[in-house]
Amino acid sequence: MARKTKRIEVNKKIGKKTRLKASRTGGVSISTQPVKGVTVNSKHGLRIAKSVGGVQLASQNGRLSIRGRKKLGSKGTNLNLSKSGLSLSQKFSIGTLNLMNPKRSSANIAGMNFRGKNAQLLLFIASIVQLSILGLKIAIFIIQLMARLSIWLFRLIREKIQTKATDRMDPS
């Protein structure tokens, strides 16, 4: 059985705005950021980027790229924009499910990363568990509400009965 080689890399800051990277597969490169939005890299050339409202427009070596992410509400739903188009994703406790292309989903359990169909299955199971927990919480809330309503109604009826009893005893 072949062993997978681990990523070996060095990523060091060698100045206030300069970084040195060396890796087994990528080689050595040095990059600097003279001003915000401009990066010069010895391996990949000049990159100019501008972010506006969560969308980044960039140019590197004459190629234009656009990417971005927009949160839709507070429940972990994101709208993602990349060179391959738009996608919609939903965040769960163990990972993210890409709703437009589920094979691009990812999950992480106990430090193990899963992608594609495996992640899709795990996220489906996680969503069922989370929906079950939500259903249980709703059921408990309804039971508590019914109990409080019953107690309130019981006290109201008891008060009315006591009021009628005191009215019968007091003929004045």
* pLDDT per residue as tens digits for the range 127-149: 888 889 989 999 999 999 999 99
The encoded tokens of residue 81 equal 């924009």
- pLDDT over threshold 70, residue 67: yes
Mean pLDDT of 148-164: 92
**Single pTM value for the model:** 0.51
Q: For residue 102, give the amino acid letter.
A: P
Are 14 and 33 within 8 A, CB to CB? no
For residue 21, which of 49, 44, 50 has the smallest C-alpha distance?
44
